[in-house]
Amino acid sequence: MTALLEVRDLRVTFRTADGPARAVDGVSFALAAGETLALVGESGSGKTVTALALLRLLAEPPADVDPASRVLFEGRDVLQLDGEALRRVRGAGMAMVFQEPMTSLNPVLSIGLQITETVQAHERVTRRGARDRAADMLALVGLPDPRAALGRYPHELSGGMRQRVLLAMALVCRPRVLIADEPTTALDVTVQAQILELLAELRERLGMAMLLITHNLGIAAGIADRIAVMYGGQLVETASRQTLFREPRHPYTLGLLRAAPRLDGPAAPTPAIPGAVPPATAWPTGCRFRPRCPHAWARCETAPPLLEAATAQQARCWLVEQPGGAPA
């Protein structure tokens, strides 16, 4: 299966007062048609910057995307596209849904206008045709009375409904890839579940690939085919969903899984990973997880590459080569 989207060695540096911040540092992954890949990590691990870089949405400066980075969408490097060609990829090829449904809609424009705007940006359609498409899309994302909803303004809708509208906006041009950055974080838990269900269903119906960005392993578990765990601007482990949950190979992944509170066992304090993500201006030398890792030993002073742990599973940890860890 050839990849629809292939990211090779993506590096994004921000110029800051404290020196260059290597927010994304050599991230590579591939996304096949119809596949869902979840990018999981803590705040500050570089997930959102990765997503924004894919569509060239980072302000440059202060961001600086390494010219050697490649973002191949259907074989073309998005990072080399300019002006009109780039505009056409955005929305029609790859679309993005943002985190905050409250602020991602323009408060002074009607819902209908904001959706038809996307259609008209990409296709030659009449105003009426665009409105029909918008209404169909609103029906598809499960908004009651879509025709009437076209004339509404964002403040008249609840958070869950707004997120549905944002989905409709993103999907109305049938993109091949949907990038969803924390699409449910700002929503109530019950609404979260509905939106995730909707996402899974839409992916199925529209046959698109999805890159889901989340800090919540539970969400990734519910919807992703493959999961990539990010830490310190790098991927530290990628595996299929089943493998990752059954046999995590990176201590960080294990820590994340352990830190998830369980509802089915006796109440106990959740074991947290000690410490916090270091700032991107000062990554530790060697393995970036070393200062927080319970297994760290001398070898970790050399940065490990992504090592093949099993079929379709890679982990950035020397433990993959030396399962026993530190020689006694």
List contacts with another protein (CB under 8 A).
55, 57, 87-92, 95-96, 98, 100, 103-109, 114, 117-118, 121-122, 166, 169-170, 173
- Of residues 124 and 246, the one with the C-beta less far from another protein: 124
Closest distance to another protein from the beta carbon of 106 (Å): 4
- Amino acid at the residue 274: P
Closest distance to another protein from the beta carbon of 68 (Å): 24
If one counts every other C-beta atom within 10 angstroms of the C-beta of residue 239, the result is: 25
Instruction: Give the burial class of 216: count Cβ atoms within 10 A of its Cβ; 0-12 exposed, 13-18 middle, 19 or more buried.
Output: middle
- Of residues 40 and 168, the one with the C-beta less far from another protein: 168
> Who's near 38: CB < 8 A, 6+ residues apart?
212, 213, 214, 219, 220, 223, 224, 226, 227, 228, 241
Distance between CA atoms of 53 and 37, rounded to whole angstroms?
17
Q: Check if the beta carbon of residue 313 is closer than 8 Å to that of residue 240.
A: yes
- Of residues 55 and 293, the one with the C-beta less far from another protein: 55
Closest distance to another protein from the beta carbon of 160 (Å): 17
Closest distance to another protein from the beta carbon of 121 (Å): 5
In the block, residue with structure tokens 């809609």:
105
E strand spans, the chain:
3-16, 19-32, 36-40, 63-65, 70-73, 76-77, 94-97, 177-181, 209-214, 226-231, 234-240, 307-310, 313-315
Pairing outcome for strands 209-214 and 177-181? parallel
- Of residues 2 and 43, the one with the C-beta less far from another protein: 43
Q: List Cβ<8 Å contacts ≥24 apart for 78-82.
A: 78/54, 81/56
- Of residues 171 and 229, the one with the C-beta less far from another protein: 171
Closest distance to another protein from the beta carbon of 258 (Å): 34
Q: What six digits make up the tokens of 275?
A: 């410490």
- Of residues 55 and 236, the one with the C-beta less far from another protein: 55
- Of residues 170 and 239, the one with the C-beta less far from another protein: 170
Q: Which of 86, 39, 55 is nearest to 217 (CA)?
A: 39
Closest distance to another protein from the beta carbon of 168 (Å): 11
Sign (positive/negative) of CA torsion 199, 189, 142, 165? negative
Closest distance to another protein from the beta carbon of 254 (Å): 34
Closest distance to another protein from the beta carbon of 36 (Å): 19
- Of residues 121 and 259, the one with the C-beta less far from another protein: 121
